[in-house]
Structure 1
């Protein structure tokens, strides 16, 4: 098993070579780009020299970024954190293909008895609903829910809505009624496969009297649907108590249904991650790609746009800016893989032959970039363990803080890591103003951290004003009975900044996702230009979504066969 230092020590090239020629140019060294480059050189019959990978940042991984704060051997996740065993590409890569380098470990979600839900100034433990139901009672909150919805936790109420929408449609019942069940007062099960959902989402109708009667569910926004089912107050409860505002924005309701019951509302879901940091998957892919002679990751080289090539034997010329030298340079290629999210695509020159396409412009707008902030904090003591027995997991609030994750304690000392705030969507403008304040938080030495260890971290710090507000909200979330010290170091990440535009994406209502997804993989039938990544997938917010889109594109347009390590029956989406 490789150490994190060994895994991340990969050779990359920050220079440039004007006039470079390659068969395939892969732009973006995030999950989809790394996967595409690796598959093309290992299974696509191309030497490394004919598959070149370009990245504008000084690191790889895209929205996977694992960091270690000084003074502790605990990994913090600024980006993607985890995967599910059902996500076959991610799981198989980690647990089989790269098992020599990566170690899969549980991503603990903690014991709800030791976690908090602080909503409308009401203090609850996260297991309050379960305990009340075991007593035959209904947990009351300060949300004026409909009588039929009182006593449901947010997870249970999400499940109830999905169940009712599905089973109200006669078309669904005629085909899938035996795959969904309601038992007991609050419990629902969904045994629908990914293939089932792919058939259901374009067909499902909203069969309730009212303004949306008989509408296709994919024409409705999720907020529209939730308000119609549980009222605006019920919607507010789900938005607040669910932890993520992004889940309840007015995105495509048909896409929201499997997302909610397949992940965030399923209390039985088993999460895993990688020992040493989840971005280890990106580095394992990079290492495997670079093992092929001629493979190269051109870091700190920003794609500005591309044109038709005047060089004989090549179709496209890609125009890059080498950021260290501020030097423009050109690459010639016969096919291009744009492994980039919506905002990064919009930053490319839009006056090219490729982007002068009304259908492409319309479909680029089919997804909503969802802003997200994370603030990691290092503490000298694990105050959450000492005060209320939490070992891991997260607490939720309707304060702008939204969520905090108790990440862990160094096994050799007491220094501990907290994700002090994980907020998104409408909470982000609150923090945006504080993030701009010019006075940064000043990391301080501890008994275990010398001043020299803190050098070079100043650009990663949140502003002092932001830290002050986070600490105020953490103390309010946990109540006066919990004494919370100040952190000695922070690490702040704004995923809404260019070129990402957001931490994750969501499909707009009214788009036929089953048609847009294949279109984006090859927007112009006459061109060898492809768009891949999490943004235009049907597993948005997950690395698996990026991999599925990339794999489908490689099989469809580069003629690659399904790898032997991946079940040929595994569903890759539309």
Structure 2
């Protein structure tokens, strides 16, 4: 007999989990609803930390931005939450810049400004040929996608229309969903153009060989010519934290450091173990990414029955390393116009083909660039194979456990001057190793063309390839009909009240929008409609 009985159990305290909990508790105030989170905090892959000594900045170790124009669910959610929040607790955003013309592209040993891609194309060290000579990486990709699915780049199309076009499309006589994105790209551009698009674009996994029918509309949404991003003034983690508070205020319960295992079906309900205790839930929601589901399946035969559905996506590595300084030294890497105007490097990102790949000149909490005083960089933002470079400069994966989740213990941490390590400080819980910090400092000097960069003051990192996440985002596998799988996995057994939701099995993989999309699909099974704008 179970030690505890509850109405609805939700496993996972990320956005999809706490959002679902909040909505269900609102609709069913008399029911006992509990969120079980294995780690010591709410947020999942949203992790916002304040750097020591810089209270007006927030480092986003996980998700860091949204695309309001193409992500209506997160936009509506923010409006609903803000309507209920007092003025001093509002969730506010700021314009999040990316590619600024004066920023740097250090590619194949050549120093470029981002503006050089179009204004000085002969300086670009790639043999692009006609018609890609003089194009940005994004333009090359958009033009290639138009050749693969004619008409899909029409700006008048909705997101849903683009997805339907790609799902129904064929290329070279074969359905697009049965082909890899990399495979079809290489049929319409040469190898140099592909490598340039990957190097200058800053990402590896986005152009890798995942399901082309999903990759194409996804790429157009995320990296289209008119993409406009927004960041969060108080950090993106504020969103799930507010959702969790609203859920508990409505009578729900959140249990952190609560690891769930051994799912089994018992008389129409689901029983499971939580830290050695048996719990029975009338309904169970797994708000988890693929790797977390795989780990849970090891002790849960019921999940092993749907291994094919769970394995329809692949986790993709993602790595972030933040460093702080006494001043924004990168401003000196700008240039002076002929009329004497100084144009500093101060916002957005620079890119390179060396392992740091992308460096973001981090803004203040209000979105303003740092001009003087303490400053911070997202020194390295890596995905794909490049994350492997840092493996030799960090502890062995999965070796240590800390506070309910596997977090690598740093044996040789980078120790900040004039400050003692504080294990209660969230920043210090993700302290970067000394060798990693010295290496990133060397590469930052190289990509900025500087023989000297000021000493790093503090550093923290997060490698989302570690368990239980397995990756920073997930992508649909080649040959999978995602539009069918995402419907089936919501409730994989028709007679069982077991549900699955999260970013992994959505149309907006890698984004909070995807987590909300699948949560809404799952909540429809409980008779709940999507949120409406207030």
User: What's the TM-score, normalizing by structure 1?
Assistant: 0.83
CA distance in 2, matches of 1:564, 1:439: 50
Structure 1 SS opposite 2:149: helix
What does residue range 254-273 of structure 1 map to in structure 2 within 5 Å? Answer: 254-264=213-223, 266-273=224-231
In the TM superposition, residue 386 of structure 1 has moved relative to its aligned partner by 4.2
- Is residue 114 of structure 2 the alignment partner of residue 103 of structure 1? no
What does residue range 91-490 of structure 1 map to in structure 2 within 5 Å? Answer: 91-99=75-83, 100=85, 101-109=89-97, 112-132=100-120, 138-167=121-150, 177=151, 180=153, 190-206=155-171, 213-264=172-223, 266-293=224-251, 295-309=252-266, 315-321=269-275, 328-350=276-298, 352-357=300-305, 360-388=306-334, 389-408=344-363, 414-436=373-395, 439-445=411-417, 450-451=419-420, 459-480=429-450, 483-490=452-459
In structure 2, relative to structure 1, the CA distance for the partners of 1:453 and 1:72 (3 Å cut) is farther
User: What's the TM-score, normalizing by structure 2?
Assistant: 0.89
CA distance in 2, matches of 1:272, 1:408: 12
CA distance in 1, matches of 2:445, 2:421: 30
CA distance in 2, matches of 1:434, 1:520: 38
1:562 alignment partner in structure 2: 530
In the TM superposition, residue 216 of structure 1 has moved relative to its aligned partner by 1.0
8 Å contact from structure 1 (residues 104, 272) kept in 2: no
8 Å contact from structure 1 (residues 98, 284) kept in 2: no
CA distance in 1, matches of 2:522, 2:429: 38
List per-residue Cα deviations over 1:339-364 (Å, max 9, x = no partner).
Answer: 0011000111446452242xx21121
1:39 alignment partner in structure 2: 23
In structure 2, relative to structure 1, the CA distance for the partners of 1:565 and 1:347 (3 Å cut) is same
In structure 2, relative to structure 1, the CA distance for the partners of 1:140 and 1:164 (3 Å cut) is farther
List per-residue Cα deviations over 1:358-390 (Å, max 9, x = no partner).
Answer: xx2112111110011111111111112344212
CA distance in 1, matches of 2:346, 2:522: 42
8 Å contact from structure 2 (residues 9, 285) kept in 1: yes
8 Å contact from structure 1 (residues 403, 423) kept in 2: yes
Structure 2 SS opposite 1:422: strand
Structure 1 SS opposite 2:489: helix
8 Å contact from structure 2 (residues 265, 302) kept in 1: no
8 Å contact from structure 2 (residues 167, 214) kept in 1: no
1:12 alignment partner in structure 2: none
8 Å contact from structure 2 (residues 48, 58) kept in 1: yes
How many residues are paired up?
Answer: 501
In the TM superposition, residue 237 of structure 1 has moved relative to its aligned partner by 1.3
CA distance in 2, matches of 1:349, 1:453: 36
CA distance in 2, matches of 1:196, 1:427: 34
In the TM superposition, residue 273 of structure 1 has moved relative to its aligned partner by 2.2
Structure 2 SS opposite 1:113: coil
List per-residue Cα deviations over 1:127-164 (Å, max 9, x = no partner).
Answer: 212434xxxxx444222223322221101001101111
In the TM superposition, residue 70 of structure 1 has moved relative to its aligned partner by 0.5
CA distance in 2, matches of 1:363, 1:349: 12
Structure 2 SS opposite 1:151: coil
CA distance in 1, matches of 2:326, 2:391: 28
In structure 2, relative to structure 1, the CA distance for the partners of 1:394 and 1:454 (3 Å cut) is farther
Structure 2 SS opposite 1:32: helix
In the TM superposition, residue 119 of structure 1 has moved relative to its aligned partner by 0.8
8 Å contact from structure 2 (residues 316, 472) kept in 1: yes
CA distance in 2, matches of 1:230, 1:539: 26
In the TM superposition, residue 113 of structure 1 has moved relative to its aligned partner by 2.5
Pairwise CA RMSD: 2.3
Where does structure 2 lack aligned partners over 5 or more consecutive residues? 335-343, 397-409
List per-residue Cα deviations over 1:295-347 (Å, max 9, x = no partner).
Answer: 1101001011211237xxx61211112xxxxxx01111111100001100011
In the TM superposition, residue 458 of structure 1 has moved relative to its aligned partner by 5.0
8 Å contact from structure 2 (residues 60, 236) kept in 1: yes
In structure 2, relative to structure 1, the CA distance for the partners of 1:127 and 1:38 (3 Å cut) is same
Where does structure 1 lack aligned partners over 5 or more consecutive residues? 1-17, 133-137, 168-176, 181-188, 207-212, 322-327, 567-574
In structure 2, relative to structure 1, the CA distance for the partners of 1:409 and 1:104 (3 Å cut) is closer
Structure 2 SS opposite 1:24: strand
CA distance in 2, matches of 1:492, 1:80: 13
In structure 2, relative to structure 1, the CA distance for the partners of 1:20 and 1:455 (3 Å cut) is closer
Structure 2 SS opposite 1:89: helix
